[in-house]
A = this chain, B = another copy of it.
């Protein structure tokens, strides 16, 4: 309970009421329903017409299916998401041998979310036996057995799967990483028309990450836009420094990010891009100067911001420049995709 309270507080959820869990699934759900019922003492919540029941182990539920089951429940009294069976289901005999197998096409896996008219499911839980509460697993079955309500079945998406095994945690991590890598914001340190090389990098990134939305703007007059981008939950920022050789612009961005609380849920990737013209500054000197990034990175890492530097070789030869930018785009794409804490503060070279 304390852990859950901590989570609600930490992520600043406003519309959550917590209820003590029971020792089984059905007892926990029953406790939740009681908190919504009118006939219970100390009830502070209003009784809803429709209640949706969901498992926390299915974190990728879409609004769409919530809407569908709620509407179907209003009409049918009960509704639940289903999926095709991935494996054939069999019934074993007592001696551990095959008794019979079920026809896969005429069965479905019952998933969550499920929705009910509140009065239907509450009555079902009030009437059901201790055996049901101890060993049952299926709310739709309770509504059928005790209220004669035949649930409407709604096709769900594969995303409704239950995070059960270690492999599911791997899958969940990859899905989250993919989702928060769908948008990249590129910030230039000067007016747009001067930004030939920044624009080229943007084009390369669009090519490298062809499903990704790449937006760009100049940081100096992007204050308002930046707020908008942060509000849209963009978790990836590329700060292109052409005119200046220091971290002034990157710092401004980091400040804006820190103020926004964006990184509270997921780590935000920030890549500070610099260019090297051998003729102007020796490579070693430039590297040494840019290694300051380690210190900034250490600081912002505490706030879940992953800062890396990228030094792009900037030759006169147009073809070589394109090659450098292509490499730079690959590195940016990798840093965003991996979102790895271990490489924070590194200065990569393209």
Contacts and interface: CB of A to CB of B under 8 A. Distances in A.
| Majority SS at the chain A contact face | mixed
A78 B90 CA distance: 15
Contacts of A282: 284
Interface in A331-350: 331, 333-335, 337-338, 340-343, 346-349
A350 to B, nearest CB: 9
Contact of A150 (B98, B140, B334): B98
Contact of A104 (B98, B137, B294): B137
Question: What 6 A-B pairs come out closest when comparing CB atoms?
Answer: A284-B284, A334-B342, A170-B174, A167-B171, A87-B109, A171-B171
Q: Please tell me the size bucket of the interface on A.
A: 35 or more
Interface in A307-350: 330-331, 333-335, 337-338, 340-343, 346-349
A97 B153 contact: yes
A89 B105 contact: no
A2 to B, nearest CB: 29
A86 B164 contact: yes
A159 B170 CA distance: 13
A161 B152 contact: no
Given A88-B109, A158-B166, 8 more contacts: A82-B92, A92-B153, A98-B150, A100-B144, A170-B174, A287-B287, A331-B343, A334-B340
Given A167-B171, A171-B170, A288-B284, A110 B97 contact: no
A182 interface: no
15 contacts: A85-B89, A87-B110, A88-B109, A93-B150, A96-B152, A101-B110, A167-B171, A173-B174, A174-B174, A282-B284, A291-B349, A294-B349, A331-B343, A334-B340, A346-B348
Contacts of A98: 78, 80, 140-141, 144, 150-151, 153
A283 interface: yes
A138 interface: yes
A175 interface: yes
Contacts of A341: 334
A287 B282 CA distance: 12
A158 B347 CA distance: 41
Given A82-B92, A340-B334, A175 B165 contact: no
A341 B333 CA distance: 11
Contact of A330 (B78, B80, B342): B342
Contacts of A138: 88, 90, 101, 104
